[in-house]
Amino acid sequence: MHEVLVGTMTEERRWQERANCLGVDPDLFFPERGASTREAKSVCRGCEVRLDCLEYALSNGEKFGIWGGLSERERRRVRRERALARRRAQGDTATA
């Protein structure tokens, strides 16, 4: 069973092998409070797996750092917007 779970996790994270940030100092993506995130976001900007990275962070509740080119504050906004859209969709189906 453990092997199946590890294999599944590996497949789910295979996108990391193609990330622009591979080999970049991780500290760049975890700046001190108030420090600029511009350089980290520039690494993410042209990354082919940016959306996979963002979805990973949203799904796993990553609280710190730059993931998928977004800060935690920006990811919180995405989560709120998605929750609101789900509520609206549920409301629409309840009235249909």
- The separation between the first and the last C-alpha atoms of the chain, rounded to the nearest angstrom, is 43
Is residue 4 very low, low, confident or very high in pLDDT (cuts 50, 70, 90)? very low
Letter string b/e over residues 29-52, b meaning 16 or more CB atoms within 10 A of that residue's CB: bebeeeeebeebbebbeebebbeb
pTM for the structure as a whole: 0.79
Structure tokens at 44: 């993410």
Beta bridge partners, 67, equal: 70
pLDDT surpassing 80 at residue 36: yes
Position 62 scores a pLDDT of 95
Residue 71 has a pLDDT of 96
Question: Residues 6 or more apart from 31 whose CB is under 8 A from it?
Answer: 37, 40, 66
For 4-33, what is the mean pLDDT? 82
- Write the pLDDT tens digit of every residue in 57-68: 999 999 999 999
Query: Domain-by-domain residue ranges, the chain?
Result: 2-95
